Amino acid sequence: MKSSAQAVLNLASLINHDASLYEVEDQGLLAPEVALLEADDLSLAEPLNWHIIVRSTGGDDDFILEGNVKGKALMDCRRCLDGVAVEASSSFVYPMMYKAGIESLQLREDDTEEDDVLVFGRPNVDFAELITQLFAIELPLTALCREDCRGLSADGVNLNEHPELIPEVKSEEKPSPFSALKDIEL
Ligand SMILES: [Zn+2]
């Protein structure tokens, strides 16, 4: 599957209440534009794999969006700063509403409902921004390249690559279990 910078679904049949087509479904690989990645402080190891279904609910301009996204982000190891590929995925459901005149997809708070509502105003809806954001918020705040990452030396050398530089801990330097008592005045 070729990746694209957009994730567009054509919802014309839903807006027009074409009785034969009450749902629109598509999937693809999304390689978001730089501006979208920067907005979410995101860097990707591979394009995002997305899948979206928009269904008519029977109401006039009300629809339901259901979808998921998964992918691999590139993060810095919090100890050695090496690049780490971190997997994440998200499943989501949103009410959607058609409002003529709205240029691009918007996420709005609904005063009457608890859920946010996706509002769109054109038949062709690009979900790239939503998919990118929903993926980004699933990522952990920090990452480790491996559980026992040795980190950097005081000089900034990666100790995973140069374990010989790890300072030896001498047994007499280990804190004594009684060391806390030293502060207590007898
Ligand atoms: Zn590391």
How confident is the model over 168-180, as pLDDT tens digits?
A: 766 555 566 666 5
Has residue 115 been placed in a domain? yes
pLDDT at position 167 is 81
Reported as half-sphere exposure (CB side, CA atoms, 13 A), residue 50 has a value of 33
CB 70 within 8 A of CB 89: yes
Structure confidence by residue, pLDDT tens digits, 19-32? 667 899 999 999 99
Residue 177 placed within a domain:
no
Q: What separation in Å is there between the alpha carbon of 161 and the centre of ligand 1?
A: 10
Residue 115 has pLDDT above 80, yes or no: no
Q: Is residue 170 part of a domain?
A: no
User: What domain range includes position 29?
Assistant: 3-149
Give the count of domains, the chain.
1
The answer to the question of residue 158 being in a domain is no
Residue 76 lies in a domain: yes
77 C-alpha to center of ligand 1: Å?
A: 5
pTM of the full predicted structure? 0.82
Q: 162 CA distance to ligand 1 centroid (A)?
A: 13
Residue 155 lies in a domain: no
